[in-house]
Each structure stands twice: as structure tokens, then as C-alpha cells.
Amino acid sequence: MPTREVTKTERHSSEDECFLPRSLAVENLPHSSSSFHKETQNFQPEGSSSQMEGGTYWVKAGGNGNGTSRITPSGNISYVLTRYDLTNSLVNVLPSIYNSSIENFPLLLHFFNLTLFALEGATKTIIHGIAPCNIIHVTADKTTIKGFTIQNGVNGISVEGATSVLIEDNTLINNKHSGIYLLFSNASRIDGNSIINNSWSNVRIDYSHNNTITDNECAESTAAGVYVANSTDSVICVNNIYNNGVGIGIIEASDISIERNGIKENTMGIGIRKTTASVIQRNSLLRNKNPFDDGIGIGFYRTNNSFVRHNLILKNGHYGGLGLFNSTNNCIFGNNFINNKYHAIDDYGGNYFNNSIIGNYWDDYSGSDSDHDSIGDSPYATHGRGKSKDYCPSMDVFIIDATPPSVSIAHPSSETYTTPQLDINVTIYDFLCTVDTVLVEVNNTINVTLQPARERTYYHRYTFTEGLYALRVFANDTVGNMNSSQTVSFIVDLPPSVTILHPQNKTYTSSQIDINVTVKETVSAVDTVIAEVDSTENMSLVKYPHLYHTRCTLTDGIHTVTIYANDTSGYRNKNASVTFTVETEPRNKDGEDNRLDVATAIGIGTGACMSIAAIVIFFLKRKNGK
């Protein structure tokens, strides 16, 4: 136990010294930058449309197409963003470097439900910006950005006034202010990103609510790994946060949950100022200090009504494992305080270091446990003018299970599949606890529950339609730890789907027959469409805006037309055929031809004339009395 009270200087002489620097105030960082602009991509593909709504688009640096298929990719991202209405669309970006020589920055994503997806991931798909402006700027709801390296801008990704945005599996490095910046943006998710060496903060959230920051690596920022200000109801969980000025900084917020993070080797692990009703639980706070041993694990300033529970607080700097400054009515219990300079400092009072059952483990507690109930007989006194005490100090180190289950995706893998039914197999292992539920999220929308198949293996057979897919596995254990870090992206490329619009299974009275079909192909492009007539003649169909067409001349009788559609991946549809009848003259009810040959017609005509003449002669004879 320390032998002296800390001085006023040791308790920090000012709030700026103790917590986040004022330079992180919202007014000191730029918002979106749109000052830089040049003419969009210098080619105009012949036959391209300016208003194609929805669909799938393709980009490959150096391409010279209109971006509407994989074999005709656009040469840059800017072209697709400015050329088409991308509402409810997917833009697939093929591996390359996309820099200011071919792109207009910022890339403006302002279409509802647009996904910008790097097909082969962040190591191969790099967007290299320029310092005067943001790299990607989002203003539309339900935008997804997945799989890029985004570097050398002001903010790597800025989101302003949008909701339900997903930023996933990206690498954001070497940006002048923030890797990811949310302003007035709610209900969004920052998931699975590597966010490193962004000068002001790796993740910054201002005036935004109900956001989730999970499973990210946040490191090497001068100011903050994660910074949240003037925001409510946000979750910061399962992140690896290290080597920042402040690991997690919260200012003027409420209802913030910080849980299951690894927070180490920052000058300050967690700094919270003017915040209420927040929870810090199941985190590891290790060695948060600078080379001069200045630092602190968790620091509260004017922060009230919050919980600090079930954390490992180990080897933090001179200002202690936990510091409470001008803060009251906070409850601290179930934590392990080990080998800190000072374990806890309370300079105000009115805080509680135990609940009704248990307090904290203090490695320098010297009291006894005469009744062997694992609770010390005498209180543990914290440092500071508040003179707070833990009245139920634990004699034993808490086993704090902050480790989520281990997850490995066995199938599917990152490849192209040509069948719709795929087995989803994952292996789950939890060292300290029992696995509770395992879910697979399909393209961020559909949740599928996996069932145990055998020891540590979970399984489900799922039927996919054609397209690009991203699966994310969520594995929860019985104490609430969740692993959502494992993802896999793959393609289901099925043969083209053919619908025959005309002819139909009926009788036609014209020998001229139009053949009209539609062909649906999501992943590849349609290559050829062939009509086989009566298993003898093949005719190529011509593509029109909404269908494929040809016209043929057929004799009377029963005919069968079979359509074969081939895509550019070499796949052909299953047979699509129709049988119909051509009958240019009607038949009688027995199916006999109602048309008469010439001889029959002459015979009938001659006989009819003779009969009429006989009748006339008969009547004339009667009239004359003969």
C-alpha cells in the first residue's frame, strides 16, 4: 500500500492536463471538404446510360467500359458515382491503386443503400487520397464501405447526417485528422477495421447517437484511439486499442458502454469527462503510461452515475489505475487492481467501491480473512481527499472472462461457387465458458442460426441466389462475450436464368413467329443467347434494352423452341423451352384440313350447277302445264 497521500499536483492541476486536450474540440477539426474537384473521367463509353437505377456495377483502374458488367468495368470509382443513379446498388471494385490521377476526391456517396465493395480486400485495393480533402464522404442512409485501404486524406471516411452506415473490414492509415469521422450520424456500425496512425484520432464521433464501434484495431494516434463527444447510447466493444495519446476519450456524453476492449500502452487508457450513466466493464487496461511513467488506466472528471466493474487494471502509470476527479455516485466493484503506482484515487468522495456483496481485488491489501469467506475483515482505503473505502475487499483475484469464443470458418471459403446450396461450417471454442449461440449474418441483413453438428462444430445448409456474399459469424458465450471478427466473402455464379415471353404454349395463325426472352445474370455478363428451333436450326437473338429477340418463319405444325443462354464465365442455363402450334388455316373438329383441292372444288361446283338447272326446268314445265 502506498505510504503517502498524493499531492494536488499529482492529482492533476487542470482538466486539460488530466484529460483530452482542448485541441480535440469539435470546432477545431474540419468537416467535409469538397473544395477539390476536376473533370470526371475523360471517356464516355458509347451506348452508356446516364440514369440506370439500381443494379451491380464494376470498377477496375485503367478500364474503359461503362461499368455495367465485369467485362466492361469503369476505369475509376468517380465515373460510376457520377454517371448512374446508384440507389440500392452494389459497386464492385477490383484490385488496384485508385489515386488522384484517376479519381476526384472526395468520393461522394449520396445514394440510399449503396454498397462500395473491394472484391479482393484491403491489401489489394487501395484508395490513396490527397491531403486537402476527405477521401470518402457519405451523406446517404444505409451506405456500406467494405474491404479497402484508405490513406493520405484529411479524414479517411467522413459520414455526415446519415444513419445505418456500415464501415467494415477496411484499413485506414496516415490520414491527417481522423481515420473515420461521424458527425450528426446515428445507428451506424464501425466493424472489423484496422485504423492506424491517423493524426488526430483514429475514430471520432460527434453529435451522433446509437452507434457501435466493435472489433477494430485502433493504434498510433497522437490524440485518441476512439473519441466520442456530445453523443449518447453508443457501444465501444471488443476493440484492440494501443499506443495512442488516449485510448478511449469520452466528453459530454451519456449512456456509453465500453466493454471487452484490450486497452494498453496508451498514455491514458480511458478518459471520461462530463459524462453520466456509462458502463466500463470486462476490459483489460494494461501499462497505460508514457516513457516517464506518467499515465493512468481510467480517469473520470466531472463524471457521475457510472459503473466500473469486472476490469483488469494492471501496471498503469503514476496517476493510478483509476482516478476520480470531481466525480461522484460512481460504483466500482469486481475489478482486479494489480501492480499500479496507485490503485485508486478519489479526490471528491461519494463514490462506492463495493456493491452489497463484493468489492475489488487489491494486490496490496494487507487485511485478514478470519471467517474464510474470501472477503477481507477490514476495509481497503483508496487514495485522495474523498477518503473512499472498499468495505468488501476480495481476498482472491477475480476470474474475469472477457475473452470471446474462438471462431474459425471452415466453409465456405473465398472463391466462386456454381451451386446455390452451400454448407456453412464453423468451428467454435471457448476456453473458460460455454458457447451459447452461433449466428451467421448474410450480407448484413439475414441472420441464420447454426446448430451443433459435433464437438466444437456448428452447421447450417443455406440456399443462395446468384450474387456476391459476405458472411459474418457471431458467437456468444454464456457470460455475454461475443466474437464477430470472422468473415468470409465469396461469389455464387449460377447459369443465366431465362424466361420465354413469346411464343407461348398455344396455336398461332401466322407463320411469322417472334421469339422474345429475358435473361437474368447477376455476376457475369450475358455472352450469347441462342434459339434452337425443332432441334435443327440455331438462331442468335439480338439484345434490346429489356429483352433478347429474333423472328423466324415456320410451316404449319407443332414446333419446339429451346433457348440457350451463355455467360462470360462459361456457364449455360438449364434448358428453357416452349412447344406451340402454327396453323395458318383452321382445321375441322376432327383435325382434318378444311381446305379443298382444285379437282374436288370443280366437281362440287359442276354438280351443283347441274342440280340447279334441273330444278329450274322442273318448275318451268309445271308452270306451262306440262
Q: Say how many CA atoms lie within 13 Å of 4 toward its Cβ.
A: 4
The verdict on residue 357 lying in a domain is yes
Q: What would you report as the CA-atom Rg of the chain, rounded to the nearest whole angstrom?
A: 37
387-408 exposure pattern, b = at least 16 Cβ within 10 A, e = fewer: ebbbebbbbeebebbbbbbbbe
The verdict on residue 551 lying in a domain is yes
Q: How far is CA 448 from CA 207, 226, 471, 608, in A?
A: 34, 31, 10, 82
Question: In total, how many domains does the chain have?
Answer: 4
On whether both 294 and 354 belong to a single domain, the answer is yes
What's phi and psi for 518, nearest 5 deg? -110, 145
Q: How far is CA 350 from CA 219, 253, 527, in A?
A: 35, 21, 75
Q: How far is CA 558 from CA 45, 505, 533, 552, 555, in A?
A: 45, 10, 11, 14, 9
Domain stop point among 492, 509, 543: 492
pLDDT of residue 52: 40
Domain stop point among 402, 426, 447: 402
**Residues with pLDDT less than 50, the chain:** 1-53, 595-606, 608-609, 616
The grid coordinates listed for 50 are 446516364
The verdict on residue 532 lying in a domain is yes
Contact 145, 123 (CB under 8 A): no
* Residues sharing a CB contact under 8 Å with residue 423, sequence separation 6 or more, in sequence order: 411, 412, 459, 460, 461
Q: What is the rounded distance in angstroms from the CA atom of residue 456 to the CA atom of residue 561? A: 52
On whether both 319 and 396 belong to a single domain, the answer is yes
Q: Grid cell 490503485 — which residue?
A: 343
On whether both 468 and 549 belong to a single domain, the answer is no
CATH number at residue 468: 2.60.40.650
On whether both 484 and 413 belong to a single domain, the answer is yes
pLDDT of residue 467: 86
In 3D space, the residue among 398, 203, 382 whose CA is nearest the CA of residue 311 turns out to be 398
On whether both 502 and 488 belong to a single domain, the answer is no
Q: Is the peptide bond prior to 106 cis by the omega test (within 30 degrees of 0)?
A: yes
pLDDT of residue 23: 34
The verdict on residue 587 lying in a domain is no
pLDDT of residue 601: 42
Long-range contacts of 599-606 (CB under 8 A, 24+ apart): none
On whether both 281 and 351 belong to a single domain, the answer is yes
The grid coordinates listed for 439 are 449466428
CATH number at residue 513: 2.60.40.10
Contact 300, 327 (CB under 8 A): yes
Q: What is the rounded distance in angstroms from the CA atom of residue 250 to the CA atom of residue 270? A: 8
Q: Say how many CA atoms lie within 13 Å of 73 toward its Cβ.
A: 18
Q: What is the rounded distance in angstroms from the CA atom of residue 353 to the CA atom of residue 382? A: 9
Q: How far is CA 602 from CA 219, 597, 598, in A?
A: 103, 9, 6
On whether both 305 and 289 belong to a single domain, the answer is yes
The verdict on residue 132 lying in a domain is no
Give the burial class of 13: count Cβ atoms within 10 A of its Cβ; 0-12 exposed, 13-18 middle, 19 or more buried.
exposed
On whether both 281 and 367 belong to a single domain, the answer is yes
Contact 287, 313 (CB under 8 A): no
Write out the DSSP string of 166-218.
EEES-EEES-SSEEEEEES-BS-EEES-EEE--SSEEEEEES-BS-EEES-EE
Q: Residue 397: what residue type?
A: V
pLDDT of residue 329: 98
Q: What is the rounded distance in angstroms from the CA atom of residue 333 to the CA atom of residue 352? A: 8
Query: How wide is the angle at C-alpha 374 spanned by C-alphas 368 and 377, nearest 5°?
Result: 35
The verdict on residue 442 lying in a domain is yes
Q: What is the rounded distance in angstroms from the CA atom of residue 110 to the CA atom of residue 28? A: 25
The grid coordinates listed for 127 are 484508395
On whether both 398 and 289 belong to a single domain, the answer is yes
Q: Say how many CA atoms lie within 13 Å of 597 toward its Cβ.
A: 2
3-state secondary structure 80-136: HHHHCEEEEEEEEECCEEECCCCCCCCEEECCCCCEEEECCCCCCEEEECCCCCCCE
Strand pairing report for 144-146 and 107-109: unpaired
On whether both 474 and 502 belong to a single domain, the answer is no
Q: What is the rounded distance in angstroms from the CA atom of residue 418 to the CA atom of residue 320? A: 59
pLDDT of residue 593: 54
pLDDT of residue 548: 96
- H or E element in which residue 603 lies: helix 598-623
On whether both 398 and 312 belong to a single domain, the answer is yes
Residue 236, beta-bridge partner list? 213, 258
pLDDT of residue 474: 92
The verdict on residue 258 lying in a domain is no
Contact 441, 214 (CB under 8 A): no
On whether both 514 and 577 belong to a single domain, the answer is yes
Q: How far is CA 172 from CA 206, 212, 603, in A?
A: 19, 18, 96
* Residues sharing a CB contact under 8 Å with residue 368, sequence separation 6 or more, in sequence order: 376, 377, 378
pLDDT of residue 357: 96
**Domain residue limits at 352:** 276-402
The grid coordinates listed for 241 are 486499442
Domain stop point among 402, 418, 438: 402
What's phi and psi for 114, nearest 5 deg? -100, 135
The verdict on residue 230 lying in a domain is no
Q: Pseudo-torsion of CA 112, 113, 114, 115, nearest 10°?
A: 160
What's phi and psi for 623, nearest 5 deg? -65, -35
SS3 content of the chain, % helix, strand, coil (to 5): 5, 45, 50
| pTM for the model | 0.74
